Amino acid sequence: MKTLTLIPPSKFSKNVARDLVYGCWCKGKRIAGIQFPPVSQLMVTTVLKENGHDAHLLDAAGLQYSLDQIKEQVGREQYGACIVLTSTMTVQEDADILNELKQVNPGMKTIVTGSQPTFMPHATLARKGIDFVALREQEYILRDLIAALDQGGDAFKKVLGVGFRDENGQDVINPYAPLIKDLDELPIADRTMLPQDIDYFNPIIKRMPFTTMFTTRGCTAKCTYCSSPPFYGEKVRFRTAEKVLAEMEYCQNLGYKEIFFRDELFTASKKRVLEICVGIKERKLDLTWICSSRVNNVDPEMLKAMKEASCHLIRFGVESGVQEILDNVRKDITVEETRQAFQWCHEYKIDTHAHCMIGSPGETQETIDTSLRFIKEIDPTVITFGITTPYPGTALFDEVAAVHPEIGDGSQMDLSRLHTDSFFNQFFTDLSNDELSRNIRHIYRSFYFRPGYLFKWLRRINSWEEFKRVTMAGANVFDFAFNRGD
């Protein structure tokens, strides 16, 4: 079957980070205008291609296509199916686009994947423009669904992990498909399918061009605001070091200079991290890299090996500098562990990115002020702060929905308000929407526009490329912090 994996544009932002299959997406401003290549959707397209389908990918968001341009392509190419990874804050926009595309290609089946269809399948199927939802891990479900649609008749009705409306207008939600046991089975995402004329921008990248990789799925933690464990399972599944190194080598051969590992738990297995670091040196890979970690998943031996293997930045989920707030969201880390992890990174000269939230259960003005002081003390290279948001699939969402059924499927939180407006936060904190919004921008001003911090950045700039990147990032952060953009 001829298929299109579409990354649709959003009217709210030209650079939405649409590459994560669960949880929240970012529209870029708070972290200085970031863009990511859609590697998770490349993986889906690669799997379909390897299974004999005429599979195509269109990064209409990256290419900044208008709806008319997408319609023109879809009308011309007459795809049999169109796949869109959607989210809580884009599901309505995405459904509207799919509905428009059906006008020029009425026979095309539309399939949406991701956490919103997984945790809100009925509300998703109720939207005009959507024929199928795929629940949880998408690759093999889409492989089986596209094969069944190709076969014709009722074959699609038996595909596990799929939901649809039957001929009587009743929703049918099939049982979950099993999760993929061995992630090494999945191919290397074929990056030659990405548009060649886009330079995906990201200010924390040191060497362009960069690409992203996903090497783990699932999480053993139980953070109440996160939908990763219910989506990908409560165990961590890993691609082996060998497979990770093979993909890095492939990326290097395509001309990439930096890898951004997008999985939250890259460091969950120390043994695997050390094997990857040894492999990078043995294969003489000339790639710098970035990864994410929990603060209690690093130690000096690991950080030393990572630094020697050209890791230049680690992103940590810090969330708060107040133990009570961390405990309230069941983060299962201590403030002391955070302090220690940042201290070690400073010692090994690895840059850090602290991800933080305000407006969590129990938050007060005092805890926000304490968090900000703590963040300045641990001295990350960059920060992002957002307002804690209850998303479908999370324990926090269930708690709110039990008392406030008007939260519905959560999709009132669209990209225009994400992270800068509160969303049912009054259920678990006494801070008003105005207070939370004001605090977010105040934190950015207070952290980023300190003379000492700015001076440190100026001293780091050692090339024209870096100057351009830092200036562009700084302008975006300035706009956000001083309320000129969101």
Residues that bind ligand SF4 (CB under 6 A): 219, 221, 223, 226, 228-229, 264, 294, 317
> Cα–Cα distance between 464 and 458 in angstroms, integer?
12
Q: Which residues 6+ apart lie within 8 Å of 185 measured at CB?
A: none
Q: What is the secondary structure of 62-120 as a DSSP string?
A: TTT--HHHHHHHHHHH--SEEEEE--TTTHHHHHHHHHHHHHH-TT-EEEEESHHHHH-
> Cα–Cα distance between 320 and 317 in angstroms, integer?
9
Q: Which is nearer to ligand SF4, 258 or 264 (CB)?
A: 264
Task: Please return the burial class of 366, using the count of CB atoms within 10 Å of its CB with bins 0-12, 13-18 and 19+.
Answer: exposed
Min. distance of Cβ 318 from ligand SF4 in angstroms? Answer: 11
Min. distance of Cβ 232 from ligand SF4 in angstroms? Answer: 9
Taken as a whole, the chain contains a residue count of: 486
Question: What are the residues facing 60 on neighbouring strands?
Answer: none
Q: Which is nearer to ligand SF4, 358 or 481 (CB)?
A: 358
Q: Which is nearer to ligand SF4, 129 or 229 (CB)?
A: 229
Min. distance of Cβ 300 from ligand SF4 in angstroms? Answer: 22
Q: Which is nearer to ligand SF4, 8 or 359 (CB)?
A: 359
Rg (CA), the chain: 22
> Cα–Cα distance between 219 and 237 in angstroms, integer?
8
Min. distance of Cβ 21 from ligand SF4 in angstroms? Answer: 12
Look-up of token digits 């401003």: 29
Q: What is the DSSP letter of 191?
A: G
Min. distance of Cβ 295 from ligand SF4 in angstroms? Answer: 10
Min. distance of Cβ 347 from ligand SF4 in angstroms? Answer: 24
Min. distance of Cβ 188 from ligand SF4 in angstroms? Answer: 24
Q: Which residues 6+ apart lie within 8 Å of 16 measured at CB?
A: 10, 25, 26, 27, 28, 61, 90, 415
Q: Which is nearer to ligand SF4, 3 or 394 (CB)?
A: 394
Q: Which is nearer to ligand SF4, 127 or 294 (CB)?
A: 294
> Cα–Cα distance between 307 and 285 in angstroms, integer?
14
Q: Which is nearer to ligand SF4, 223 or 473 (CB)?
A: 223
> Cα–Cα distance between 144 and 149 in angstroms, integer?
9
Q: Which is nearer to ligand SF4, 4 or 219 (CB)?
A: 219
Q: What is the secondary structure of 105-159 as a DSSP string?
A: -TT-EEEEESHHHHH-HHHHHTSTT--EEE-SSHHHHHHHHHHHHHH-TTGGGG-
Min. distance of Cβ 221 from ligand SF4 in angstroms? Answer: 4
